[in-house]
């Protein structure tokens, strides 16, 4: 029986720390990512890809602010839609080129995805979602003076970043389209950047100024497509306890109870590993089978049980 994987790729894998963010840099990063995924497609896996957009949407907002005297700024939901289009295109082009190189008769389609959120979500009162590049403290303070409406916070010891509201996703609008394409043998790119946040008001939808966490959206998509496994790709090969400390140690497998205990201890920082663990727990609580957290480079080995961190339900 074919297995269905939902694979979540972070936006920082496509625009890496220290890079300027040129089209060439981003495409090369995407090209590196798609090789292992095409190999899985060749093996018969049904694949859904979800990508982050934190660096990309942050840069679009900075561009808009810099040119605000010449061009009317766009709301964050439209900026998120832009990243879905541009990143979906890069992934599709890289994937098609890989198909041709490997002589694989593959199909891939991107779906512009809307995600319903609640306007009363408490996240709107306390922005936490990092977007855009990392700054020094001095540069962040300068930007704060130039853009008083923006909020900047320190991000896991890596520098300062702009943060925006990140409400919890409730459901995605296009799930029937995603399932139909998956059934037709397509790799489906959906939920890009966590999807475009919208709110239902009566019998209509309206855009919402926010960025939804792509890992939480991945959990909903994994439920909707009845995935066999939710795969969350990150910058490290495994989840670690005491990350960055002399006592750092990797975790190969952990139960839901163990993961919750580590969360309560504060082992997983917000804006970094915490939303990934929360997404994993949310998926498993809804009947999901298993979550794998690893890096793109180690994905093939992790699927063989030779790397990565697996989170499982106690009854399994």
Q: What is the pLDDT of residue 158?
A: 78
Confidence of residue 53 (pLDDT cuts 50, 70, 90): confident
- Sequence-ordered list of residues with C-beta below 8 angstroms from that of 226, at least 6 positions apart, any chain: 4
State yes or no: is 214 an active-site residue: yes
Higher pLDDT, 227 or 269: 227
Work out the pLDDT band at 23, boundaries 50, 70, 90. Answer: confident
Residue 4 has pLDDT above 90, yes or no: yes
CATH code of the domain made up of 4-116+170-199+209-227:
3.40.1160.10
Residue pair 235/10 in contact (Cβ under 8 Å)? The answer is: yes
**pLDDT score for 271:** 64
- Structure confidence at residue 147 (pLDDT): 78
Rounded mean pLDDT of 300-304?
92
The yes-or-no answer on residue 103 being catalytic is: no
Query: Which residue's entry shows tokens 């089209």?
Result: 23
Segment 106-135, tens digit of pLDDT:
999 999 999 999 999 999 998 888 777 778
Q: Distance between CA atoms of 260 and 264, rounded to whole angstroms?
A: 6
Q: Which residues contact 56 (CB under 8 A, 6 or more apart)?
A: 11, 14, 15, 21, 26, 83, 86, 87, 193
* pLDDT, averaged across the chain: 90
How many CB atoms sit inside 10 A of residue 10's CB? 22
DSSP 11: H
Q: Residue 8 above 80 pLDDT?
A: yes
Asked whether the CA dihedral 235, 236, 242, 248 is positive or negative, the reply is: negative
List Cα–Cα distances, 120 to 32, 88, 171, in angstroms: 40, 30, 16
pLDDT at 206: 96
To 10 degrees, what angle do helices 214-224 and 274-285 make?
20
- pLDDT of 316 higher than 70: no
Q: Is 179 a catalytic residue?
A: no
Per-residue tokens: 74? 């766009």
Q: Is the pTM of this model over 0.85?
A: yes
Place 187 in a pLDDT band, splitting at 50, 70 and 90: very high
70-81: buried (b, 16+ CB within 10 Å) or exposed (e) per residue?
A: eeeeeebbebbb
- How confident is residue 242, by pLDDT bands cut at 50, 70 and 90? very high
Residue 276 appears among annotated catalytic residues: yes
> What is the 3-class SS of 213-247, one letter each residue?
CHHHHHHHHHHHCCCCEEEEECCCCCEEECCCCCC
The active-site residue, picked from 10, 194, 276, 288, is 276
What is the spatial distance between Cα 16 and Cα 145, in angstroms, rounded to a whole number? 27
Check if the beta carbon of residue 59 is closer than 8 Å to that of residue 130. Answer: no
Question: What whole-number distance in Å separates Cα of residue 207 and Cα of residue 141?
Answer: 30
Q: Which two tokens stand for residue 167?
A: 């409400």
153 labelled catalytic: no
CA distance 81 to 88: 10
Greater pLDDT, 210 or 155: 210
């Amino acid at each position: 029986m074919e297995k269905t994987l939902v694979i979540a790729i972070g936006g920082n894998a496509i625009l890496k720390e220290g890079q300027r963010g040129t089209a060439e840099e981003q495409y090369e990063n995407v090209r590196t990512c798609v090789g292992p995924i095409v190999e899985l497609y060749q093996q018969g896996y049904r694949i859904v890809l979800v990508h982050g957009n934190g660096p990309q949407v942050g840069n679009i907002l900075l561009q808009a602010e810099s040119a605000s005297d010449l061009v009317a700024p766009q709301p964050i939901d439209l900026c998120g839609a832009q990243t879905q289009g541009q990143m979906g295109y890069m992934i599709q082009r890289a994937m098609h080129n890989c198909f041709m190189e490997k002589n694989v008769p593959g199909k891939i389609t991107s779906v512009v995805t809307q995600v319903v959120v609640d306007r009363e979500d408490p996240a709107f009162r306390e922005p936490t979602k990092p977007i855009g590049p990392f700054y020094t403290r001095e540069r962040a303070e300068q930007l704060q003076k130039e853009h008083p409406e923006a909020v900047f916070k320190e991000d896991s010891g890596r520098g300062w970043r702009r943060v925006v509201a990140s409400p919890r996703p409730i459901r995605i609008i296009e799930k029937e389209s995603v399932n139909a394409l998956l059934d037709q043998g397509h790799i489906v790119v959906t939920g890009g950047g966590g999807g475009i946040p919208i709110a239902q008001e009566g019998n209509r939808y309206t855009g919402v100024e926010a960025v939804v966490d792509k890992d939480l959206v991945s959990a909903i998509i994994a439920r909707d497509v009845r995935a066999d496994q939710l795969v969350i790709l990150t910058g490290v090969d495994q989840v670690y306890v005491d990350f960055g400390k002399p006592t750092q140690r990797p975790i190969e497998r952990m139960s839901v109870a163990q993961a919750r205990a580590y969360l309560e201890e504060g082992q997983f920082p917000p804006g970094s590993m915490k939303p990934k663990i929360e997404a994993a727990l949310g998926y498993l609580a809804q009947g999901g089978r298993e979550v794998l957290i690893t890096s793109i480079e180690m994905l093939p080995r992790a699927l063989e049980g030779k790397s990565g961190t697996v989170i499982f339900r106690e009854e399994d």
